[in-house]
Every structure is written in C-alpha cells, then in structure tokens.
Homo-oligomer: A and B are copies of this chain.
Amino acid sequence: MSNRTEIATLGEFGLINHLTESVKLQNESTLKGIGDDAAILDYKDKQVLVTTDLLLEGIHFDLTYTPLKHLGYKSAVVNFSDIYAMNGQPKQIVVSLGISKRFSVEDIDEIYAGIRLACDIYGVDIVGGDISASLTGLCISITCIGEGEKGKIVMRSGAKDTDLICVSGDLGAAYMGLQLLEREKHVFNGQKDFQPDFGGKEYVLERQLKPEARKDIIQMLHNENILPTSMMDISDGLSSELLHISKASHVGCRIYEDRIPIDYQTAAMAEEFNMNLVTAALNGGEDYELLFTVPLTDHEKIEKTEGVKLIGHITKLEYGNYLVGRDGGEVELKAQGWTAEKGM
C-alpha cells in the first residue's frame, strides 16, 4: 500500500511550500512568480492573452478511471490549447485547487506533478495560485497567460468567403476513449489494482486522458509563413466550433464528410459501439485539435503540410453551414445542446 500523508500534517502554508519550492521559472517575461500578493510579468512589446478553465470532479472528470497525474496534465494543457488557438504562446499559469479530506498530500503531489510536467514540456511557468479545503469534490481552476505578437493574433472573427477550412490531427478519438472508459467503469470501480484489457485501444484512451495542445502546428504555420484568418481549438466538437467561426466572421461554410480526418482506432471503436462515426467526429469534443481558415492562396502550402487536413471552405453568410456527405447530400450543421461547461 502506498503512503498516505494527511494534508493537515503539513498545514496549508506547508503544503504550498511543499508543492512549489522546486518550481523553476523559465520565461523571460516572468519577473516574479509565487510568493507575493501577485505575480509580476513583463510582456514588453507583446500582447497579453488570458484564458481560464474550471474543472470540477464528477462533471469534467471521473476519478474512477482518471489517474491524478493525467488529470493535472490535462488541466494545464487544455488552457495552453486556448492560447495556441489565438496563435499565441502560453507563458504562465496560476493554479487553484480545492481539495476535500479524501485526498492525501501524495494525491496532490500527483496532480501537481502532472501540471508541472505539462509546464516543462510546453515551456510555461507556474506563477501563483490558491489552495483551499473543499467540503466536497476536487476542484481545479487554472488561468493561463500567454503572449501574442501584434498583428499576428488570430481570432474567430476573420474568416472570409473562399477561405479554406483546415483541421490538425484527427477527430473523435477522445470521445471514443471516453465511451470506452465509461463502459469499463463498472468493471474496475472500487477495484484499485484491476486493469481492464485496453490493448489496441491505447490511442483513443490517450486522447481522452492525456491530450496534447498543438504547439507544433502553430510552429509549423509560423515556419511556413501561413497566418490563419481565423482559428479555434476544438474542445466542444468540430460542428460547434465551426458555427462559432461562422457566427463571429459573418460567413457560412461547407465541409466534406470524406475529408474529416479520423483515426482507424476511432473508427473501430465506433463500430464496436455501433455509433455513427461522423457524428462522433463532428460532435465528440475534447479533441484539442486546431480548426483554422487560410486564404485560398495558401492552398498549395496547406496541401503539403503534414498533420493538417483541408476539410472544406468558407462561403457567403447566406449559404449557411453544411456538411456535404459522401453521396453529395447536404446536412445542415447544428449546434450541440447543453454540455457541462463552456468557456467564454
């Protein structure tokens, strides 16, 4: 059995020291991190990007099958993804944790280890936060600050008629991973050491439990001298995000079913679950891929770009938002219904 240190034995200041004493700062823009009333940053001639995410136990994550270190990693990465989606670079985060008595110091270490690993990989500094007792479940609130170059920040609102619609990676895998975990949940619920056989399904599980933000795509676009006209990250599903871009840009869109990138594991899982594959890819959510539009003149560059797929094009507003099926039939894209949470 693993050690269990009660949080009360450290006290709250003790816990903060324990978690943060070895935090090293790596960004020039971080002048002062943890240890005062506020962190001090200097962005010089860069613009500042700010995004925040609140993750609540039982709503955004289920600790039955979510390792705490993965949870910490994902909590940080989903914020980085929002900054990349503005064509920016995440630089700092502040991390607030609400912790119920059920959690030990070792548990919190695991969450923090995941957050720190994500920060190391993506080059982000932890510069502050808050730790609190919680009467109920675990609560993780992270705000990420990033930098963007003047004139290079990409919003949702810049898509123009004839622009090409692109997505990075593939879609629907995180959603299928979630379905798989939920199905197996009763099997390993309460059995700490039981491990269901997930052989051959590693990819969809990793997409759900330990997603990555597409820093590489942002770097690649920069290297190729491609500046998207609009961009978002796909957290609520392609369909929902496309409608956001259309609305913010006052345009319509056509995307093509046979163009939507889907991994074979996602397809296999959809078949196993007897689910519509395209629906999963359109509405699944939590892909954290980038959806962006580029001018038609970037067509050749994009076609040559690895890891990016051209899935359709922007139209005039009056043509609406449609998915063109393999048979040529058109289906209007619909916004999803209520989901657990939505960033502003």
Could you tell me which A residues sit within 8 Å of B by CB distance?
Answer: 8, 11-13, 16, 20, 31-32, 34-43, 47-54, 56-60, 82-83, 85-86, 88, 92, 94, 96-98, 127-137, 139, 141, 143-146, 148, 150, 153, 155-157, 231-233, 248, 335, 337-344
User: How distant is the Cα of A85 from the Cα of B38 in the complex, in angstroms?
Assistant: 8
* B56 and A139 within 8 A (CB): yes
Q: What are 24 A-B residue pairs whose CB atoms fall within 8 Å in the complex?
A: A32-B155, A34-B344, A36-B86, A37-B83, A37-B86, A37-B156, A41-B48, A43-B43, A51-B128, A52-B94, A52-B143, A54-B96, A54-B97, A54-B130, A54-B132, A54-B141, A59-B132, A59-B133, A94-B143, A130-B341, A130-B343, A132-B340, A136-B137, A139-B139
Counting chain B CB atoms within 10 Å of each CB, which of A37, A60, A338 scores highest?
A37
Within the complex, the shortest CB–CB distance from A167 to chain B, in Å, comes to 15
* B52 and A41 within 8 A (CB): no
* A128 and B37 within 8 A (CB): no
Residues of B within 8 A of A143 (CB): 50, 52, 94, 143
* B130 and A50 within 8 A (CB): no
* A42 and B50 within 8 A (CB): no
* A38 and B50 within 8 A (CB): yes
Residues of B within 8 A of A85 (CB): 37-38
Residues of B within 8 A of A141 (CB): 52, 54, 96, 139, 141
Within the complex, the shortest CB–CB distance from A15 to chain B, in Å, comes to 9
* B53 and A130 within 8 A (CB): yes
* Apart from A31-B47, A40-B47: 11 A-B pairs, beta carbons within 8 A: A8-B338, A11-B337, A35-B156, A41-B47, A41-B48, A43-B43, A50-B92, A52-B96, A52-B128, A131-B342, A135-B137
Q: Which 4 A-B pairs have the closest CB atoms?
A: A136-B136, A132-B341, A141-B141, A54-B96
User: How distant is the Cα of A96 from the Cα of B50 in the complex, in angstroms?
Assistant: 13
Within the complex, the shortest CB–CB distance from A324 to chain B, in Å, comes to 26
